[in-house]
Structure 1
Amino acid sequence: MASAAQAEPISTPLFLSINNQAADAALQLQDQGKSTYKVTTSLKKGTYQIQIADKAHTCGTTFGPATAGPLPFGKSNPLSSCAKDQQYQLRVLLPGNYDFTLDNSNPDAPTLKVLRATKAGSFKRQPPAVECNSWDGGAVTVSVGKTWPNGTQLRDAYSGQVATVKSGKVTMTPAVDSEGILLLEPVKSEKQVAFSWDNATVYFMLTDRFNNGDPTNDNSFGRKRDGKDEIGTWHGGDFKGITDKLDYIKSLGVNAIWITPMVEQVHGFIGGGENGTFPFYAYHGYWALDFTKLDPNLGDEAALKAMVDEAHKRGIRVLVDVVMNHAGYATLADLQDLGLESLVTDKEKLPARWSDWKPVGLYGNWHGFNQHINYQSHDWKNWWGTDWVRATMPGYQTPGNDDVTGAVGGLPDFLTESTKAVDLPPFLKAKKDTNATTLPNATVVDYLVKWHTDWVRKFGIDGFRGDTVKHLEPAAWKKLKAEGTAALKEWKAANPDKKIDDLPFFMVGEVWDHGMNKDLWFDNGFDSIINFDYQRDALNNAQCMNTAEPTYAKYAKTINTDPNFNVLSYISSHDTKLFFGDYEDTGLQRRVANSFMMLPGGVQIYYGDESGRGLMKSDGVFDQAVRSDMNWKELNSGEKAELVKHWQKLGAFRAAHPAVAAGSHVKLSDKPYTFVRQKGNDKVMVVFAGRKNG
Structure 2
Amino acid sequence: MRAHRLSALPLLFGLALPLPSLAAPELSVRLNDQPLSPKWNALAADRYDTELELEPGQLQLAMPQSTAQSAPLAPFRRQPLGKDSAYRYEVPEAGRYRLIVETGTAAALRLLPIKAAEPKAAAPVCRAWGGGAVDVAVGDVFRDGQTLRDALSGATAIVRNGQVTLKPAADSDGLLLLEAGEPAGAEPSHDWRNATVYFVLTDRFANGDPSNDRSYGREPDGADEIGTFHGGDLKGLTERLDHIASLGVDALWISAPYEQIHGWVGGGDSGDFRHYGYHGYYALDFTQLDANMGSEDDLRALIGEAHARGIRVLFDVVMNHPGYSTLQDMQQQGFGALRDGMAAYLPEQWSAWQPEAHENLHAYHNLVDYEHPSWAAWWGRDWVRAGIADYDTPPSSTVDPLKGSLAFLPDFRTESEAVVALPEFLARKAHTRAEPREGYRVRDYLIEWLTLWVREFGVDGFRVDTVKHVEPATWAELRAAAERARSDWARANPDAPMASEPFWMVGEVFGHGPEASDYLDQGFDALINFDFQAQAVAASDCLAAAEPSYADYARRLGETPKHNLLSYASSHDTALFSQLAKGDLARQRGLAAALLLAPGAVQVYYGDESARAFGPSGSDPYQGTRSPMNWAEHERPEIAALIEHWQRIGQFRARHPAIGAGQHRLLSPGQPYAFARELGEDKVIVVQAR
Normalised TM-score (structure 1): 0.83
333, 338, 352: which is aligned to 2:333? 338
Alignment of structure 1 residues 341-420 onto 2, 5 Å: 342-343=337-338, 345=340, 346-362=342-358, 364-400=359-395, 401-420=399-418
2:125 matched to which residue of 1?
132
CA distance in 2, matches of 1:549, 1:92: 24
1:107 matched to which residue of 2?
none
CA distance in 2, matches of 1:304, 1:491: 15
1:672 matched to which residue of 2?
672
Aligned-partner SS, 2:675? strand
2:31·2:59 contact (CA, 8 Å) conserved in 1?
no
1:464·1:508 contact (CA, 8 Å) conserved in 2?
yes
Describe the superposition over 1:497-527 as per-residue Cα deviations: whole angstroms up to 9, x where unpaired: 2232512111000011011222221111101
My pick for the range that moved more, 192-201 or 347-356, is 192-201
Alpha carbons of structure 1 residues 374 and 93: separation in structure 2 relative to 1, 3 Å = farther
1:598 matched to which residue of 2?
597
Which runs of at least 4 in structure 1 moved beyond 2 Å after TM superposition? 17-22, 39-49, 89-100, 114-118, 125-130, 189-193, 340-345, 560-563
2:32·2:57 contact (CA, 8 Å) conserved in 1?
no
Alpha carbons of structure 1 residues 571 and 660: separation in structure 2 relative to 1, 3 Å = same
1:105 matched to which residue of 2?
none
1:497 matched to which residue of 2?
495
CA distance in 1, matches of 2:170, 2:232: 36
Matched, 1:320 2:332: no
1:384·1:426 contact (CA, 8 Å) conserved in 2?
yes
2:174·2:688 contact (CA, 8 Å) conserved in 1?
yes
CA distance in 1, matches of 2:478, 2:57: 37
Alpha carbons of structure 1 residues 655 and 271: separation in structure 2 relative to 1, 3 Å = same
507, 517, 527: which is aligned to 1:509? 507
Point out the structure with max Rg over C-alpha.
1
Describe the superposition over 1:84-106 as per-residue Cα deviations: whole angstroms up to 9, x where unpaired: xxxxx998999785499xxxxxx
Shift of 1:478: 0.5
CA distance in 2, matches of 1:48, 1:556: 37
Root mean square deviation of aligned Cα: 2.6
2:337·2:368 contact (CA, 8 Å) conserved in 1?
no
1:486 matched to which residue of 2?
484
Alignment of structure 1 residues 556-635 onto 2, 5 Å: 556-582=554-580, 583-635=582-634
1:653 matched to which residue of 2?
652
1:204·1:604 contact (CA, 8 Å) conserved in 2?
yes
Matched, 1:147 2:141: yes
2:12 matched to which residue of 1?
none
Shift of 1:300: 1.1
1:343·1:380 contact (CA, 8 Å) conserved in 2?
no
Identity %: 48
Aligned-partner SS, 2:310? coil
255, 258, 267: which is aligned to 2:253? 258
The amino acid of 1:399's aligned partner reads: P
CA distance in 2, matches of 1:269, 1:310: 33
1:130·1:543 contact (CA, 8 Å) conserved in 2?
no
CA distance in 2, matches of 1:248, 1:344: 52
CA distance in 1, matches of 2:615, 2:148: 44
2:254·2:316 contact (CA, 8 Å) conserved in 1?
yes
2:69 matched to which residue of 1?
none
1:271 matched to which residue of 2?
266
404, 409, 425: which is aligned to 1:427? 425
2:286 matched to which residue of 1?
291
CA distance in 2, matches of 1:208, 1:152: 49
Shift of 1:393: 0.6
CA distance in 1, matches of 2:31, 2:211: 51
Matched, 1:162 2:171: no
CA distance in 2, matches of 1:129, 1:526: 34
Shift of 1:343: 4.1
CA distance in 2, matches of 1:554, 1:634: 37
2:83 matched to which residue of 1?
none
2:122·2:545 contact (CA, 8 Å) conserved in 1?
no
CA distance in 2, matches of 1:576, 1:92: 18
Shift of 1:42: 8.2
CA distance in 2, matches of 1:496, 1:199: 26
Shift of 1:47: 2.9
Alpha carbons of structure 1 residues 45 and 156: separation in structure 2 relative to 1, 3 Å = farther
CA distance in 2, matches of 1:652, 1:21: 52
Q: Which runs of 5+ in 1 are unaligned?
A: 1-16, 23-38, 50-71, 74-88, 101-113
Alignment of structure 1 residues 158-197 onto 2, 5 Å: 158-188=152-182, 189-197=184-192
Aligned-partner SS, 1:178? coil
1:437 matched to which residue of 2?
435
Matched, 1:219 2:214: yes
Describe the superposition over 1:504-557 as per-residue Cα deviations: whole angstroms up to 9, x where unpaired: 111000011011222221111101001111112212222221121111111111
CA distance in 2, matches of 1:608, 1:317: 19
Q: Which runs of 5+ in 2 are unaligned?
A: 1-29, 36-50, 62-74, 77-86, 99-111
Alpha carbons of structure 1 residues 447 and 259: separation in structure 2 relative to 1, 3 Å = same
Alpha carbons of structure 1 residues 516 and 199: separation in structure 2 relative to 1, 3 Å = same
Shift of 1:592: 1.8
Describe the superposition over 1:368-421 as per-residue Cα deviations: whole angstroms up to 9, x where unpaired: 211111112222111111110001112112202310010011000000010011
2:641 matched to which residue of 1?
642
Describe the superposition over 1:163-212 as per-residue Cα deviations: whole angstroms up to 9, x where unpaired: 11112111011112111110001111454431121211000011111111
Shift of 1:424: 0.2
Describe the superposition over 1:239-269 as per-residue Cα deviations: whole angstroms up to 9, x where unpaired: 0110010000000000000011111101111
Shift of 1:41: 7.5
Q: How many residues align?
A: 602
CA distance in 2, matches of 1:21, 1:622: 27
CA distance in 2, matches of 1:555, 1:520: 18
Aligned-partner SS, 2:152? coil
Aligned-partner SS, 2:664? strand
